Amino acid sequence: MARYDLIVIGSGPAGEKGAAQVAYFGKKTALIERAAPRLGGACTNTGTLPSKTLRETALAITGMNSRGLEAAVLALPKPYTARTLMHREQLVVGAERGRIARNVERHGIKVLAGTASFVDAHTVRIEETGETLEADVFLIATGSRPHRPSWIPFEEVEIYDSDEILEIEIIPDSMIVLGSGVIASEYACIFAALGVKVTVMDGKDRLLGFLDGEIGQRFHAELMRLGLTLQLGDAPVKCAIDARTRVCSVTTAGGKVETAAAVLAAAGRTGNTAGMGLEALGIVPDKRGNLAVNEHFQTVLPHIYAAGDVVGFPGLASTSMEQGRVAMCHAFGLSYKTCVNPLFPYGIYTIPEMSYVGRTEEELKQQGVDYLAGRASMRDNARAEILGAESGFLKILFAPDRKILGVHALGPSATELIHIGLMALLADATIDLFIDAVFNFPTLSELYKYAAYDGLGALIRREKGAAA
């Protein structure tokens, strides 16, 4: 029986980075991946990279950017074939798989193909081969899969979950998207950009309810420009398909019925923990298959760690990587990295992009924190004008002592632009940092300077008002 210092189950962001962290310091490491040699998990193969690449393809073939959504001219004749749209996605995914394979090989990590289950607390078996392996430490990084509500007939070819949608053969002329979260919003924008008549349905009152309210309102306006129809606040309860016409229908709790050529259900994710034998060890997943862990990412058995989507929130590739690294540093006494920084950015690849870091206005009000806001519009920024970004903006929230509390951005490159704000927050900086800094011209980064000036003006007006 082969014995290792560490066995990692799953090769997604948490698994890859956790394994490499330990192998770098000379520990004997094995990585078990059921889809091997296709490494990278959902992030590489069915989630993050494929959907973001499809978004860029949709923007490229339509000549679309943040301006002129109403008049976008589609370059391909209908019906669009997914094979054409997915060509770039296949190249990107292939390149990322290659990068992961090289990283694993460079660190001397043994890759084993198959499905792992625990025989006992220190032994796993690969189901397909019957091979057993022992280890001192385990990292469960099995990721997640789309949640499938029982009332949705996924067996019908016109009804997709958020993994299956990447295998669609013909882009339909109409689609119902079920859900109000990040995945639902991103795919709704992508298909709308391709000229599909998209209706988004969910029981919640608005999409992406965790966003800063102002950002959410502006995003809603952008969706209207993009031509989406929102049916929110009335929960879908039934999904059916007409056997003769193949038209899909969704019925809400309030009795409203919407029809379309296809349905995409994006109703959250479920942790990949079934069949691993965890319950026999006392590690019991919750109803969504997620594992409870402590601040070091240990399960109830201290030598068995879990990281990434399988531990639930926040379920981001960026935080999953850090969780894997932190978990393994703790397991093997590598003290230089002891926690995942609680301040991390959210990136949402809708059309247009949105991103934020720190607190929202609603959170500050709820917490009774006094604050001011400074804003800069992309319509007043030369680089944004070059890009055609007419409606984007950047907002800085800050305390009366000028300390930055949060940054929110909507528009082209928002997910890149937000990192300037992240660094400022990590440094406990004030808005004076941006006022004093010199930015390249023309750049989107200049938005920080003018948002800071706008905030300074708001602060001066408040102080004058108080003095009067």
Strand partners, 198: 175
> Per residue, what are the HEC states of 242-298?
CCCCCCEEEEECCCCEEEECEEEECCCEEECCCCCCCHHHCCCCCCCCCCCCCCCCE
Instruction: For residue range 379-431, list pLDDT tens digits in order.
Output: 999 998 888 787 899 999 999 999 999 999 999 999 999 999 999 999 999 99
What b/e sequence results for 306-323 when a residue is b if at least 16 CB atoms lie within 10 Å of its CB, and e otherwise? Answer: bbbbbbbeebbbebbbbb
Question: How many other C-beta atoms lie within 10 A of the C-beta of residue 84?
Answer: 12
Q: Residue 39 and residue 446: Cα distance in Å, rounded?
A: 39
| β-bridge pairing 257-260 and 248-252 | antiparallel
Least Cα distance to 10 among 139, 98, 180 occurs for 139
pLDDT reading at 76 higher than 80: no
The rounded distance, in Å, linking the Cα atoms of 354 and 416 is: 10
**38 class by beta-carbon count within 10 Å (0-12 exposed, 13-18 middle, 19+ buried):** middle
Report percent pLDDT > 70 for the chain: 95
Average pLDDT for 245-257:
97
For residue 37, is the peptide bond before it cis, meaning its omega torsion is within 30 degrees of 0? yes
pLDDT band at 74 (very low <50, low <70, confident <90, very high): very low
Token reading at 298: 């240990």
Cβ neighbourhood burial of 420 (10 Å; 0-12, 13-18, 19+)? buried
Best CATH choice for the domain 2-146+270-331 from the list 3.10.290.10, 3.50.50.60, 3.30.479.10, 3.30.420.40: 3.50.50.60
Q: How far apart are CA 102 and CA 266, in angstroms?
A: 33
Tokens 């990949």 locate to 272
Least confident of 18-22, 45-49, 436-440: 45-49
* d(C-alpha 210, C-alpha 216), whole Å: 9
The whole-number pLDDT of residue 77 equals: 52
pLDDT score of 82: 66
CATH, domain range 159-267: 3.50.50.60
Q: Spell out the domain ranges in the chain.
A: 2-146+270-331, 159-267, 352-467
- Find the range with the poorest average confidence among 130-134, 162-166, 177-181: 162-166
Model confidence at 321: pLDDT above 80:
yes
pLDDT at 97 over 60: yes
What pLDDT is attached to residue 54? Answer: 82
**Beta bridge mates, 202:** 232
The reply to whether domains 159-267 and 352-467 share a CATH topology is: no
Q: What is the largest CA-CA distance in the chain?
A: 81
Residue 439 has pLDDT above 70, yes or no: yes
Instruction: Report the mean per-residue pLDDT for the chain.
Output: 92
Residues in the chain: 468
Transcribe 363-374 into DSSP letters. HHHHTT---EEE
With residue 111 as reference, give the H or E element that holds it.
Answer: strand 110-113
The model's pLDDT over 327-362, given as tens digits with 9 standing for 90+, comes to 999 999 998 889 999 999 999 999 999 999 999 999
Of 136-140, 166-170, 332-336, minimum mean pLDDT range = 166-170
Mean pLDDT, rounded, for 80-86: 68
pLDDT at 80: 58
The residues facing 409 across adjacent strands are 355, 394
Give the other-Cβ count within 10 Å of 238's Cβ. Answer: 12
- pLDDT of 468 reads 75
Superfamily of structural domain 352-467: FAD/NAD-linked reductase, C-terminal dimerisation domain (3.30.390.30)
Give, in order, the Cα–Cα distances in Å from 41 to each of 51, 254, 300, 468. Answer: 14, 39, 25, 61
End-to-end CA separation in angstroms for the chain: 81
Alpha carbons 246 and 397: distance in angstroms, whole number: 50
* Residue 75's pLDDT band (cuts 50, 70, 90): very low
The span from the CA of 27 to the CA of 8, in Å, is 12
pTM of the model: 0.90
Give the per-residue pLDDT at 59.
77
What pLDDT does residue 85 have?
Answer: 72
Q: Provide the pairing of β-strand 29-33 with 2-9.
A: parallel
For 418, phi then psi, to 5°, come to: -65, -20
Of 350, 50, 415, residue with least CA distance to 186 = 350
- Res. 186: pLDDT tops 90: yes
In this prediction, residue 53 has a pLDDT band, given cuts at 50, 70 and 90, of confident
pLDDT at 307 over 60: yes
Cα-based torsion angle of the residue sequence 450, 423, 11, 106 in order, rounded to the nearest 10 degrees: 120
pLDDT tier for residue 181 given thresholds of 50, 70 and 90: very high
Judge contact between 396 and 431, C-beta under 8 A. Answer: yes
C-alpha to C-alpha distance for 212 and 362, rounded to whole angstroms: 7
Q: Please state, in angstroms and as integers, the Cα–Cα distance from residue 441 to each residue in 384, 447, 449, following that order.
A: 11, 11, 12
What distance lies between CA 399 and its chain's CA centroid?
29
What gap in Å lies between CA 92 and CA 87, rounded to an integer? 9
Give the tens place of pLDDT for each residue, 100-133.
Answer: 999 999 999 999 999 999 999 999 999 999 999 9
Can you give the pLDDT at residue 78? 56
Q: What is the structure's pLDDT at 89?
A: 80
H/E stretch holding 318: helix 317-331
Q: Which amino acid is at 328?
A: M
Tokens of 50: 């494929």
